[in-house]
Amino acid sequence: MASRRSAKVARARRILILNGPNLNLLGRREPEQYGPQTLREIEEQLRSYAGSRGAEIRFVQSNHEGALIDAIQNAVGWADAMVVNPAALTHTSVGLRDAILAADIPAVEVHLSNIYRREQFRHQSLIADVAVGQITGFGAFSYLLGIQAALHLLEKESS
């Protein structure tokens, strides 16, 4: 009988990329803070990178907390890991935090800007303690680092 772990090794790794409120405005919203790339451009780069690593990724962006929670719950049984940019919900959403915890899918929290170099209220993440790790302040490269971290965790888990 094949173990669950060996079954995971046989197929492509699956990663959910979750994007919170206002990230659909990337490229035109405060480009000095968040960079000039649109979310679609970032997604294209990530899809290319993930493909080169034999990984499958799904993207979800919503301005609605409930839709993000639904996406996490729907990822159970599909995703091996999540890369989550909760955006403003980082600092306010107990519901998003609880969904990540309940899903029991390793999550890497990412932020385009360094939240610790910004306003004081942004220094607290309600997600950090349920995420495996946090990447902050590298612009669009934060997502690539997040995928690399997720794949590293999955490779480590399967060995």
150, 106 contact by CB (below 8 A): yes
Q: List the one residue out of 85, 90, 58, 55 whose CA is nearest residue 71.
A: 58
Half-sphere exposure of 122 (CA within 13 A, CB side): 14
Catalytic residue among 34, 49, 64, 116: 34
Cite the beta strand spans of 33-149 per DSSP E: 55-61, 81-85, 107-111, 133-136
DSSP state at residue 80:
S
Catalytic residue among 64, 111, 116, 152: 111
Half-sphere exposure of 23 (CA within 13 A, CB side): 31
Q: Is 152 a catalytic residue?
A: no
Q: Is 34 a catalytic residue?
A: yes
**H or E element in which residue 15 lies:** strand 13-19
Q: Which residues are catalytic?
A: 34, 111
